[in-house]
Each structure stands twice: as structure tokens, then as C-alpha cells.
Amino acid sequence: MERRLRGFLAERRASLAQLDPGAATLVGELERLVEAGGKRIRPVFCVWGYRAAGGEGGEPILRAAGALELFHLFALVHDDVMDESDTRRGVPSTHRRFAAEAPPGVPSPERFGRSVAVLVGDLAAVLADELLLGSGFPPERLLPALRRYGRMREEVAAGQLLDLRGEAGAGEGRARAVAALKTGAYTVEGPLHIGAILAGGTPELLERLSAYARPLGEAFQLRDDVIDLGPNAAPGVEPRTVNRLISEAVAALEGARLAPEARAALVSLAELLWLPER
């Protein structure tokens, strides 16, 4: 997936350069963020959703998985603008980088940086669509996956709005609701469903994957809150909360009809999030 994603971005950078050499900077920024690292957790869940439904691997699922990483970049770049973050993955955030590189005579370097970041994020979303549409799956698999992809993007927007309103700090219940929409919806459940749909997964399998994904998606966000905020996290959000959600996710896979290697991988991914309870 990594090789295909980088190759795709190199192709799109060359294509934009034909329009105008300066325009290639937009894709170059996406390449910079890819090079900076990241866990690639959304592509991982997409691939294992595909394998869980009996998919055998190959070029199409790797391209679809890469599309989800590009969508994640879109969300990160715009999120950094909204949060006024200085760094991302250990390097300057996009809006800070372009503010520092603003052309001479620009009245407001900060506004220039934010504006370019919006464009970079928008382009990441466009390229994600392009990569998924060109993944190579037949229409009868691709169209249902695109519908699920669209719903996932709506959920992310709704969760981000709730976060901007400060509702994540309004107690454990609201914190979990925001985590489910902002992070869980497109970190675990959405990618798993998209992968499974691309392999022809049944509604019953999708329901079982949801039972695993929803608590685990919440655990992802709440775990970050525990680590980043410590005692300042929302009341009731603590390592025990995260571990309870992980256990719930793993239990949901018991008796599920999915490929054994996929079950083992999904359990391992969940258990990686376990936090020590003091």
C-alpha cells in the first residue's frame, strides 16, 4: 500500500506540474506528510475487513487502502488549521509551514498559510476519491463501497463539529459520543466496512464487524485523551474505560464467521491499545 500510495502521489505531482510548476507544491506537501510517518491504521483495517470477508489481496485493495490514508491526511490538515496546531507527526503543520514560506509582500503570512492548507486538504480529499474510483474493483462492489465511504465522511464532519463545540469535555457520555463520530467512525468501522464490502461481505458480517469496531473506535480516541490530557480528561475517561471497550470489541469476534487469520489480526490490533491500570 505504501509503495502504491507514494507512486500515485508522484504521478499526480507530475500531472499538476504540467498545469503549472508551482501547483505541484500541493501534492508535494502531501508527500511530505506521508514521509513524516503515521500508523496507517485505516488502511490496515480496510485490508483486514477485506480479508475477513474472504478477499485474497491484490492491487485493487491496496489502492483502496491508500485512498483511506489520503482521506485521513485531508482530515489532519484541516484539523490542524482548526486547532491552530504547530506540528504534525513531528514536522511543522501544513498551515505553519506555508506561513513561514509565504511570498514576499503577502499582507498576512498566517492567512496565506491557512489558505494553502485548506487547498492541500481539499486536494487530498479529491485524490482519495480518485484513487478509490480507480482501484480496479467491479462496479457491483465499488458502488456500495462508495456509498459507505460517503457516510463515513459525513460522520467525520459531524464529529468534528461536536468537538469544536467543546462537547467532548461534557462528561463521559458526550466524550464517547464525540469519539464514536470523530474518530471511531473513520478509524475502525468505516475502513473495516469498506474493505468487507469490496470483498462482497454479507450484512451479517458487517454487523459483527460493527460490534467490534464501535467500542474499539471509541477506545482509540479515549486512549489518546487519557495519554494527552491525563487528569484533565473528561470525567470517567480513564485507562479502565479504554480497557473495558477493548474487551468488548474482542468479545464481539467470538463465534464470528470470518477468516481465522483476519480474526487473529483484529484481536491483535485491539490488544495493542491496552493501557496499564494504576
Does 126 lie in the same domain as 1? yes
My answer on whether 205 and 81 are in the same domain is no
Whether 274 has a pLDDT exceeding 60, the answer reads: yes
Q: Each residue of 66-123: pLDDT tens digit? A: 999 999 999 999 999 999 999 999 999 999 999 999 999 999 999 999 999 999 999 9
Least confident of 26-35, 43-52, 191-200, 227-236: 227-236
Task: Give the residue numbers spanning the domain of 170.
Answer: 149-278
Residue 197 lies in a domain: yes
Residue 170: predicted pLDDT:
57
Does residue 144 form part of some domain? no
The pLDDT score that the predictor gives to residue 220 is 87
* CB 79 within 8 Å of CB 114: no
Cα–Cα distance for residue pair 119/111, rounded to 1 Å: 13
Handedness of CA 47, 50, 54, 57 (dihedral sign): negative
pLDDT tens-digit map of 160-192: 888 888 765 556 666 667 767 767 688 999 999
Q: Are 253 and 266 in contact (CB under 8 A)?
A: yes
Residues 265 and 155 in one domain: yes
Give the C-alpha separation, 188 to 214, whole Å: 8
Does residue 55 share a domain with residue 123?
yes
Assigned domain for 243 exists: yes
Alpha carbons 243 and 227: distance in angstroms, whole number:
13
Q: Give residue 168's pLDDT.
A: 57
Same domain, 202 and 121: no
- Top pLDDT among 257 and 174 is at 257
Q: In whole angstroms, how large is the CA radius of gyration of the chain?
A: 19
In-domain check, residue 141: no
Clarify whether residues 5 and 119 are in a common domain: yes
Could you say which of 136, 167, 197 is where a domain stops?
136
The reply to whether 196 and 86 lie within a common domain is no
Please say which residue of 103, 136, 169 terminates a domain. 136
In this predicted structure, what is the pLDDT of residue 190? Answer: 96
What's the CA gap between 246 and 215, in Å, rounded? 7
The reply to whether 143 falls in a domain is no
Question: Is the same domain home to 8 and 129?
Answer: yes
Angle CA 140–146–150, to nearest 5: 155
Lowest-pLDDT range, 56-65, 158-167, 252-261? 158-167
pLDDT confidence tier of residue 13, bands split at 50, 70 and 90: very high
The count of structural domains within the chain is 2
Residues 95 and 158 in one domain: no
What CATH number corresponds to the domain at position 21?
1.10.600.10
- Looking at the domain assignment, is residue 88 inside a domain? yes
Asked whether residue 275 falls in the same domain as residue 160, the answer is: yes
User: Is 131 found in the same domain as 155?
Assistant: no
The whole-number pLDDT of residue 172 equals 63
| Backbone angle region of 255, left / alpha / beta, with phi > 0 → left and psi within -120 to 50 → alpha | left
What would the pLDDT profile of 207-233 be if each residue is shown by its tens digit? 999 999 999 988 888 888 788 777 766
Choosing from 93, 109, 136, the residue where a domain stops is 136
**Range 189-199 average pLDDT:** 97
**More confident call, 237 vs 34:** 34
